[in-house]
Amino acid sequence: MVRLKPLPAELALRPFTVQESRTLGVPPKRLRAKDVSDGGRQIHLPTGREFELVQRARVLAAATPGAWVSHESAALLIPLGLPPWLGNADTVHLSKPHGLPRVRRRGVTGHRVHVLPGEVIELDGVPVSSPSRTWLDLAHQLTLPYVIAMGDQLIRTPRSGFEGRTEPYAIKEQLRVLIRRHPNMKGVEKARLALEEMRVGADSFPETFMRLAMMDAGLPEPELQIYLDPGDPWSPSADAGYRRFRIAVQYDGAPHLTRERQSKDNLRDEAFSRAGWTYFKANANDLAEGFVSLIARIKRAKLHSA
C-alpha cells in the first residue's frame, strides 16, 4: 500500500494555488490524490473542509493576476458592514481595471472598473478596494440610509483598544475628492447626497438609523457621543442626546449583551439618572419598528423639559 506524503503544513488547511504548491516542492501527481480537490483554474483545496471568506478571497486574488477583492466582499473583509440582503458568502467579488477582461471563474462575481492610484490597498496580504472606494462601489446597490450609515463607519473615530487603529478610514473632504474623481460612476449622486448627511459619532448602522429617524420625525439633530461632563474625557457618554433638554439615548446592540459590558452600562445609566437626565435605551425591537415608540417618548420628555 502506497502511503501519501502529507501536504506541507502551509497548504494542509487552506486553499492554495498551483504556484504555491510548486514553490513548496509538491509534485503535480500529489495534487490528484483524493484528499485534494480541484478549486478551479490554478487552485486546489484540501477535500472536505469549509473555508472562510478571507481564505477564499486570498487564493482567488492570487490566482487571478491584476484582480483585487471588491464590492460586497471588500466590505466584509474591512469590515464596513452590509445590509442583510447583501454579502452572500458563496461568491467572492473581484475587480479588474477597465482595460482587462472581467474575471470569469467559479465562485467569483467579476467587475471591470475605472480605478485610480490609492483606491486599492493591501489587507493582510490580500489586494482589496480601499474602504472609501468600497463605499463608492456599493452606493448604487444600497438605499440612501445605508449609504449614509456605511459612510458614518468610514468617518467615525475608531476605538483603538478594540480595532487596532487610531485614525478614521476617511474624512469627508477626502470623500468629496473621491466623488469628483468619478463623476460618471453609478451611484455617485447618491454618494454625494449621503455625504451631506454623514456625521462623526455613530459606532454602528443602528445608531445612524436612530439619528436619521429622530430627524425625520422633526426632532432637532442630536449631539452624538454625548458626554455627561463634556470637560472630562473619562465621563460616561451616551450614543446621542440633547444637552439643553438633559435627554440621552443609548442604542444597545449585541456587543452590549456580555456580562462585563452590562455591568459597565449599568454604571453609565445610573450616572445619567443621578445627574437628573431623562435616559432612554433602544434595542433591536426599536430598530425593527423604525424607532417610532422611542421618538414619541423623546418628544414627550423634550416637551416636559422645555
Q: Which residues contact 138 (CB under 8 A, 6 or more apart)?
A: 71, 72, 75, 86, 147, 150, 187
Burial of 302 (0-12, 13-18, 19+ CB in 10 A): middle
pLDDT at 87: 80
Nearest Cα to Cα of residue 17 among 78, 70, 64, 81: 64
C-alpha cell read off for 136? 463608492
With b for 16 or more beta-carbon neighbours within 10 A and e for fewer, the 109-145 pattern comes to: bbbebebeeebbbebeebbbbbbbbbbbbbbebbeeb
pLDDT at 305: 77
> pLDDT (tens digit, 0 to 9) for every residue of the chain, 306 residues total?
456 788 999 899 999 999 999 999 999 999 999 999 999 889 999 998 889 999 999 999 999 999 999 999 999 999 999 998 888 768 999 999 998 999 999 889 999 999 999 999 999 999 999 999 999 999 999 999 999 999 999 999 998 777 888 999 999 999 999 999 999 999 999 999 999 999 999 999 999 999 999 999 999 999 999 999 999 988 999 999 999 999 999 999 756 555 667 778 888 899 999 999 999 999 999 999 999 999 999 999 988 776
pLDDT at 228: 95
Domains in the chain and their CATH numbers? 1-51 (no CATH), 53-197 (no CATH), 205-305 (3.40.960.10)
CA distance 86 to 90: 11
In this prediction the pTM is: 0.90
CA distance 133 to 69: 11
Looking at residue 217, the DSSP 8-state letter turns out to be T
Preceding omega of 28 cis (within 30 degrees of 0): no
Q: Which residues contact 254 (CB under 8 A, 6 or more apart)?
A: none
